[in-house]
A and B are shown apart, each in its own frame.
Chain A
């Protein structure tokens, strides 16, 4: 890798991202906490269990149907903290602004962060602002970090998947990626697509209070459902079998994907989660999810199997079975 240069696909969340992390970042930073490779770190400080996560937001354009970079920066990090089975409490916000960026736009973005933080019940308690010369960044980049308290008796990990568990998805796929794409490229889809960007911590808290034994929680952001499930299959050393008929894709997203040649299973979501749970709790979890605004369309999309270890399969509508691989390249840079 030493003579190569960074390519856009290194940031896709797919195979090349994994290579970059494993070959460059991991050897330098290796430790047990990082080794969990979850959406955030789970810390134990003097008996107090905390979840800690960070993310940088570079979405282009900064405003899109259903959200903007500010809402995304709050919801994305809140969700990453919550996916550890934690109640998100405090966020930091770091801004990198390009000389010449309209103050009015900045105001809109900050107000949107304020509203999202309010909805999620978190406070932004520390921050930083840098301005760089024109051309050094594209408008505005935001980094947020979040910290939260892991709920008592809750142990969420990508390594917890076991054969027999059901896999639940909270709703329709691909809305965020397509909303951003359509804004960026001025694409007219047959039906309009709105980003699903939303804080999921409230819903997760309800679920975990009722069913503390939820095994895995993960949000299928970059790389989409397919990549996220591959990560879990690898971490837990299990197989995963999905039913195509049960995977919720709206007609608007499907139509746009048909035109552009995208696969909704690989598109980024910003307000969806995947839940692995023992069969006996499936109906209870579904019931709670479907009663919440952000889980209305929740359904079981597949189950954990023993073999083939580390792989994800999909049973198609006509009864064939095929491999569902991790995302490799990246046609959609700067989606979040």
Chain B
């Protein structure tokens, strides 16, 4: 795709948008892009405007920071206040508001919180600070979980006794099942996350078409990938042939990444998990297996966590389930802005509300 000229890209985009409009034939359709990276890619490319008005793209529960519940943040914040703890985290967790504080606020008040770009960097910090307990905030889906698992295996091999993981890893397919079981999201088709699929392969999504008769396509992240995936969904909808298709086959092998899955299952096991706005979903999270429990922060570093409070008026939960658009929230763009976020969806670069705000929804008139 990189070898296409600008003209070829434009021509292909024109073809897909025209065909999509034809296939939709004026019918109102709701397609859900599950993954936050897709939400951002859709806005970045200006795809929303290219699609006919009757096709609505709604974001799903696929931004890891967004679906992380307040209780987790409160726990991380409580740990950061301990003088013998160094918190290591990806940058986008910093500004997410917990019940009464955020990691950014704690950092400004002197907590030792360090931004890392990989779990291995956190491991290095632990090696260099043997007198401190280094806690890695492990947030993310099937894509990032294997790297956290690898870090635990390396820490085990190096016999590190001061490296801990506070795990909030989540799994995508169980969340989709929960959305469909609840039955109020009214989704006509799913754009499935390409990167997650590269790890888990196709099989975990088979239930979408088999049990729920919903069209689904694993989509890449280039503008043309997304347009083509919407086109594929529209064909399935039009010809009533719901199935699972793989548009992103250049990256996503049918069986996923076996090596990554092995590392994952070696260290983690499935467990029920709480998702912000959705609640507890059976077997939708990952906890550290008994063998590696010495690295589980919750089990090894006792902490008292404040009572969880949810922000008043925040609609993140309904946005994450695709029930509301960000612009439907009374706080959006007013009290809740990227520089002063009230809900998690306004914080993460992949947050639905942040993407809507950043790329101009409701603000940019051509």
Interface residues of A (CB under 8 A from B): 5-9, 15-16, 19, 185, 187, 245, 260-261, 308, 311, 313-323, 325, 328-329, 331
Q: How far is the CB of A182 from chain B (nearest CB, A)?
A: 10
Q: In the bound complex, how far is the Cα of B104 from the Cα of A9, in angstroms?
A: 9
Chain B 1-20 interface mask (CB, 8 Å, partner A; 1/0): 00000100110011000000
Residue B358 CB within 8 A of the other chain: yes
Is the beta-carbon distance between B358 and A325 smaller than 8 angstroms?
Answer: yes
Taking CB atoms, residues of chain A closer than 8 Å to B360 are: 311, 313, 322-323, 325
Residue of A nearest to B124 (CB): A186
Beta-carbon contact of A317 and B10 below 8 Å? yes
Chain B CB within 10 A, most for which of A245, A321, A323 = A323
The residue from A185, A317, A320 contacting B48, defined by CB atoms under 8 A apart: A320
Q: Distance in Å from the Cβ of B26 to the closest Cβ of chain A?
A: 21
- The reply to whether B46 and A318 contact each other, CB–CB distance below 8 Å, is yes
B364–A323 touching, CB < 8 Å: yes
Interface contacts beyond A318-B9, A318-B10: sample of 14 additional A-B pairs, CB < 8 Å, sorted by A: A5-B108, A8-B104, A15-B339, A187-B117, A245-B6, A313-B366, A317-B223, A318-B224, A319-B13, A319-B46, A322-B44, A323-B360, A323-B363, A329-B339
Q: A318-B13, A319-B10, A320-B50 are in contact. Are A7 and B108 (CB under 8 A)?
A: yes
- Distance in angstroms between the alpha carbons of A106 and B228 in the assembled complex: 56
Closest-CB distance, A325 to chain B (whole angstroms): 5
CA–CA, A6 to B357, complex, Å?
24
Q: Which of B13, B121, B338 has the most CB of A within 10 A?
A: B338
Known contacts A245-B6, A308-B365, A328-B338; A318 and B227 CB within 8 A of each other: yes
Contacts of B224 in A (CB 8 A): 318
- Give CA–CA (A312, B46) in the complex, Å: 14
B349 at the interface (CB under 8 A from A): yes
Once bound together, how far apart are the Cα atoms of A321 and B92, in whole Å?
A: 26
Chain B positions within 8 Å of A329 at CB level: 95, 338-339
Smallest CB–CB gap between B96 and chain A, Å?
11
Give CA–CA (A52, B365) in the complex, Å.
39
Within 8 A of A (CB), among B106-127: 107-109, 115-117, 121
The closest CB in chain A to the CB of B366 belongs to: A321
Nearest chain A CB to B137 CB, angstrom units: 16
**Could you tell me the distance in whole angstroms from the C-beta of A142 to the nearest C-beta in chain B?**
24
Can you report 10 residue pairs joining A to B where beta carbons are below 8 Å apart?
A: A7-B105, A313-B364, A316-B44, A318-B13, A318-B50, A318-B224, A319-B13, A322-B44, A322-B45, A331-B92
Say if the beta carbon of B204 comes within 8 Å of chain A. no
B47 within 8 A of partner (CB)? yes
Could you tell me if A328 and B14 are in contact, using CB atoms closer than 8 angstroms?
A: no
Q: Which residues of B contact A7 (CB under 8 A)?
A: 104-105, 107-108
Interface string of B81-115 (1 = CB under 8 A from A): 00000000001100100000000110111000001
CA–CA, A320 and B107, complex, Å? 39
Say which residue of A245, A261, A311, A323 sits within 8 Å of B358 (CB atoms): A323
Q: Chain B residues with Cβ under 8 A from A6's Cβ?
A: 108
Number of A-B contacts (CB under 8 A): 95
Question: Complex: how many Å from CA A258 to CA B359?
Answer: 18
Which B36-51 residues have a C-beta within 8 angstroms of A? 43-50
Inter-chain contact B50/A319, CB cutoff 8 Å: yes
Chain B positions within 8 Å of A322 at CB level: 43-46, 359-360, 364
A316 touches B46 (CB 8 A): yes
Would A321 and B364 be within 8 Å (CB), given that A185-B117, A316-B45 are in contact?
yes
CB A1 to nearest CB in B, in angstroms, measures 11
Contact residues in A for B364 (Cβ distance below 8 Å): 308, 311, 313, 321-323
- Closest Cβ neighbor of A10 among chain B residues: B108
Q: How far is the CA of A329 from the CA of B104 in the complex (A)?
A: 11
Q: B12 → chain A, closest Cβ, in Å?
A: 8
Pair A19/B108 contact, Cβ less than 8 Å:
no
Quick check: B338 and A321 within 8 Å, CB to CB?
A: no
Residue of B nearest to A16 (CB): B339
Contacts of B104 in A (CB 8 A): 7-9
Q: Give the docked Cα–Cα distance between A19 and B337 (Å).
A: 14
Chain B, 259-318, CB within 8 A of any chain A CB: none
Task: Collect the chain A residues with CB atoms within 8 Å of residue B363's CB.
Answer: 311, 323
B108 contacts across to A, CB distance below 8 A = 5-8
B116: A residues at CB distance < 8 A: 185
> Chain B CB within 10 Å — which of A19, A245, A308, A328 has the most?
A328
In the complex, chain A residues whose CB is within 8 Å of the CB of B46? 314-316, 318-322
Shortest CB-to-CB span from A231 to chain B, Å, is: 16
**Distance to closest chain B CB from A135 (angstroms):** 13
CB distance from B354 to the nearest CB of A (A): 9
CB neighbours (8 Å) of A321 from chain B are 46, 49, 364, 366
A residues within 8 A CB of B223?
316-318
Say how far B208's CB is from chain A's closest CB, in angstroms. 27
- CB <8 Å contact, A331 and B121: no
| Complex Cα spacing A318 to B223, Å | 7
In the assembled complex, the Cα of A25 lies from the Cα of B344 at a distance in Å of: 31
A250 to chain B, nearest CB (A): 14
- Ranked nearest first, the 5 interchain pairs of A and B with the lowest CB-CB distance are A320-B46, A323-B360, A318-B13, A323-B364, A328-B338
Contact A317 B366 (CB under 8 A): no
- Smallest CB gap from A18: residue in B: B339
User: What's the nearest-Cβ distance from chain B to residue A252, in Å?
Assistant: 14
Chain B residues with CB below 8 A from A325, complex form: 357-360
Residues of A within 8 A of B14 (CB): 319
Q: A16-B339, A319-B46, A322-B44 are in contact. Are A331 and B358 (CB under 8 A)?
A: no
Q: Output the nearest chain A residue to B360 by Cβ-Cβ distance.
A: A323
CB pair A185 B358 closer than 8 Å: no
Residues of B within 8 A of A308 (CB): 364-365
- Cα(A5)–Cα(B105), bound, Å: 8
With A318-B224, A319-B10, A325-B360 in contact, is A261–B49 under 8 Å at CB?
Answer: no
Nearest chain B CB to A318 CB, angstrom units: 4
Residues in B neighbouring A331, C-beta threshold 8 A: 91-92, 115
CA distance A9 to B339 in the complex (A): 9
**Could you say which residues of chain A place their CB within 8 Å of the CB of B117?**
185, 187, 260
